[in-house]
Amino acid sequence: MQNKTIKQTVNHVGETVTIGAWLTNKRSSGKIAFLQLRDGTGFIQGIVVKAADEDIFTKAKALTQETSMYVTGLVKADERSPLGVELEVTDIEIIHEAVDYPITPKEHGTEFLMDHRHLWLRSSKQHAQMVIRDQIIRATYEFFHKEGFVQVDAPILTSTSAEGTTELFHTKYFDEDAYLSQSGQLYMEAAAMALGRVYSFGPTFRAEKSKTRRHLIEFWMIEPEMAFCTHEESLAIQEAYVQHLVSSVLEHCSVELQTLNRDPEMLKKILAPFPRITYTKAIELLHEKGFDDIVWGDDFGAPHETAIADHFDLPVFITHYPTSLKAFYMKPDPNNSAVVECADLIAPEGYGEIIGGSARIDDLALMEERYKEHNLDQESYGWYLDLRKYGSVPHAGFGLGLERTVAWIAGIEHVRETIPFPRLLNRLTP
């Protein structure tokens, strides 16, 4: 008999199967033991009845948490379990006995759990988040492939900064200075001129001394870039993409959403088109909501973003920010050069900005002007000017932060749980 996974058991009701599994928890009385088993593909309850086999019952009662084993049993339908089946255990073959597993079913503090992240990943809520993350990654490749984008990899070691110089990780590149990439965007602009519609998907680094529920030092970003594309067309792609992510999680991860107590009804409401509000109108809205101190030209903090998002109950695009607040490459609004053709997509429920994007300056003279204003040196950034010299075209793109998106869709308070091994201000281990 071939071993089965827990996920496969649903197709084997009425059959006897063997599963390689770990014990996550157990309960027992004098007559019956309930084993909570996991194998990476899912969780299942094993039932051992003393009257059926006293030796197996004694063995089951002595099992310790995270002991690994081969469990054999009869698969039975069970409506109460999320999976819809349970296992009537007939044999247990211990592989390795775990002694004093540090994470017990009782409550632990976050720092303790983060110190044991390499083990914490085994717990059901963490497992569910990793599965949802995987689904969002898969749905990303699916969506952009269907839309005719080519995936292109951006370098991680760079000589330039894309998003301002204050948050750069510095390193040596032999005798030169180098930085860990904050964004693949500048390279995606070059790639878009070669391949039309492209996207990168890779790790990015921000040496930001922020300790909020939305900030990681190392995070993964999806950065599409499109030649012959306006800001408006980019927004349409963004909302279609986000809707696709949500619907594919709803379709494939119902068990995981249930494990995380995430109400699918909240997610079913996420349908494009999403509302849009200009930065200037958003300032007015904030004044109406009692944020008296904020003035035109100020950046939004988390409470501002949350107030705006709550007003709409859907992801909302805040567009046309003041030029001074945004990166050097953003294209000025042709009707008002004080603002740029950009948008941040703010997720509902306080999850904050999940996308930042814009139209890019395609005019050489204007880009040269920006280089002067931002003191960008010709040696490192010269190649980026070439894109405006040789067949420049209107183009636009955006970056979606994977972890913030997983946090929002899965309903997780803090982004640190949505990445397998988070890098935080005070954490580089494990």
How far apart CA 85 and CA 131 sit, in angstroms, is 20
Q: 139 vs 221, which CB is nearer to ligand 4AD?
A: 221
Q: Give 93: exposed, middle or buried? Use CB within 10 Å, 0-12, 13-18, 19+.
A: exposed
Min CB(286)–Mg ion separation in Å: 18
For the record, the structure tokens of 195 come out as 């391949």
Tell me which of 315, 332, 401, 422 binds ligand 4AD, using CB under 6 A: 401
Amino acid at 23: L
Is residue 399 at the binding interface for ligand 4AD, with CB under 6 A as the rule? Answer: yes
The strand ranges marked E within 39-146 are 43-49, 68-77, 85-96
Closer to ligand 4AD at the Cβ: 253 or 354? 354
Residues forming beta bridges with residue 44, ordered by sequence position: 37
The stretch among 1-9, 96-104, 193-201, 348-356 that binds Mg ion (CB under 5 A) is: 348-356
Beta carbon nearer to Mg ion, 36 or 204: 204
For residues 74 and 385, which CB has a smaller minimum distance to ligand 4AD in the complex?
A: 385
Binding mask 318-357 for ligand 4AD (x = CB under 6 A): -----------------------------------xxxxx
Query: What is the chain's Cα-based Rg?
Result: 26
**Residue 381: which of 153, 158, 156 has the closest Cα?**
158
* E-strand stretches of 63-215: 68-77, 85-96, 150-151, 157-158, 170-173, 176-180, 197-205
The residues in 195-234 that bind ligand 4AD, with binding defined as CB under 6 A, are 206, 208, 215-216, 219, 221, 223
Measured from the CB atom, the residue of 46 and 399 that comes closer to ligand 4AD is: 399
> Which two structure tokens, joined as six digits, stand for 220?
């993964």
How many other C-beta atoms are found inside a 10 Å radius of the C-beta of residue 222?
25
Site for ligand 4AD in 161-200 (CB under 6 A): 162-163, 183, 185
d(CA 114, CA 192): 40
Residue 253 binding partner per list ligand 4AD, Mg ion, none, with a CB distance cut-off of 5 to 8 Å that depends on partner kind? none
Peptide bond into 273 cis (omega under 30): yes
- Select from 356, 357, 397, 401 the one that contacts Mg ion (CB under 5 A): 356
> CB–CB of 89/35 below 8 Å?
yes
Nearer to ligand 4AD, 132 or 355 (CB): 355
Q: Which among ligand 4AD, Mg ion, none contacts residue 163 (Cβ within 5 to 8 A by kind)?
A: ligand 4AD
For residue 102, cis peptide bond before it (omega within 30 degrees of 0): no
Binding residue (CB under 6 A) for ligand 4AD from 403, 410, 412, 417: 403
Q: Give the residues lining the site for ligand 4AD (CB under 6 A).
A: 162-163, 183, 185, 206, 208, 215-216, 219, 221, 223, 353-357, 397-399, 401, 403-404, 415
